[in-house]
Amino acid sequence: MLPHAAPFLFVDELLAVAPGTSATGRWHLTGEEAFFAGHFPGRPTLPGVLMVEALAQVGAIAVLLEPRYAGQLPLFGGIDGVRFRRQVQPGETLDLHVEMSRLSARAGKGHGRASVDGETACEVDLLFVIVDG
């Protein structure tokens, strides 16, 4: 569904989707991911920007499953109001949920929340543009 490939595909599991409206997925962090070695040695922590990217990927699934966007590509247009509430460590599962608040022919907005065991790790408002794929 997504044009992403390893090592930049962060959605391991899709739990629910309402095309054009919302999507919920998971990213299982094994600890074998290369970024943990350098972020940070002795205290491995998921980089916040990768949490935001994972949320954007889940949001892209909701967009791309809407028939009118078949063959299109959602790209970042902006990131607003991002807040990191908790560190995410190796071995944890990051639950990802994005709700679309606006979709037009060329752009959209969504709100994402990443959590671990129900505890918020990150929240963000995503803005994106839709281009030919």
The token pair that represents 68 in the structure block? 């009118």
Cβ(91)–Cβ(131) below 8 Å: no
By CB neighbour count within 10 A (0-12 exposed, 13-18 middle, 19+ buried), where does 2 fall? middle
Coil, helix or strand at residue 77: strand
39 catalytic residue (yes or no): yes
Counting Cα atoms < 13 Å in the Cβ hemisphere of 17 gives 17
Q: Which one-letter amino acid corresponds to residue 129?
A: V
Greatest extent of the chain over all pairs of C-alpha atoms, in Å: 47
Which residue out of 4, 39, 97, 111 is catalytically annotated? 39
* DSSP code per residue over 46-64: --HHHHHHHHHHHHHHHHH
**Residues forming the active site:** 39
